[in-house]
């Protein structure tokens, strides 16, 4: 998968990234990852949309997780230990809720 990342949020101890790829010159979102950094390691939740991992077996998912965590954490010198929860939800049930100051004027 030709994966690209876009950081959405960064705090001193966590980050959230959108994962996407180019398909036929169009951007396709394939999921997101939330990472939390501690002295003991990295903890996170990885969501890859069901359609993006269709046909993948557990080994392929594990290899993807290992490569992704290494790419995100190694340059910053984070501990090598990690715990990542993986989910592959169907986008038919995906909902997004928000409340921002921009919403208050509507």
Q: Is 73 helix (H, G, I), strand (E, B) or coil?
A: helix
| Domain residue ranges of the chain, discontinuous segments joined by + | 3-104
Residue 30 is predicted with a pLDDT of 93
CB atoms within 10 A of CB 85: 11
> Confidence class of residue 102 from pLDDT cuts 50, 70 and 90?
confident
Average pLDDT, the chain: 88
Distance CA(37)–CA(42), nearest Å, equals 5
What is the pTM (predicted TM-score) of this model? 0.83
**pLDDT tens digits, residue range 31-53?**
999 999 998 889 999 999 998 99
Task: State the pLDDT at residue 55.
Answer: 94
Mean pLDDT to the nearest integer, 6-31: 91
Residue 85 has pLDDT above 90, yes or no: yes
DSSP one-letter string for 38-72: -SS-EEEEEEE-GGGSTT--HHHHHHHHHHHHHHH
């Amino acid at each position: 998968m030709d994966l690209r990342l876009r950081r959405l949020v960064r705090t001193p101890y966590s980050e959230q990234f959108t994962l996407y790829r180019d398909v036929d010159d169009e951007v396709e979102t394939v999921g997101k990852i939330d990472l939390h950094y501690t002295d003991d390691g990295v903890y996170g939740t990885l969501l890859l949309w069901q359609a993006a991992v269709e046909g993948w077996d557990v080994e392929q998912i594990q290899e993807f997780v290992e490569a992704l965590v290494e790419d995100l954490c190694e340059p910053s010198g984070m501990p090598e230990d990690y715990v990542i929860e993986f989910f592959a939800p169907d986008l038919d049930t995906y909902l997004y809720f928000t409340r921002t100051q921009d919403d208050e004027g509507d």
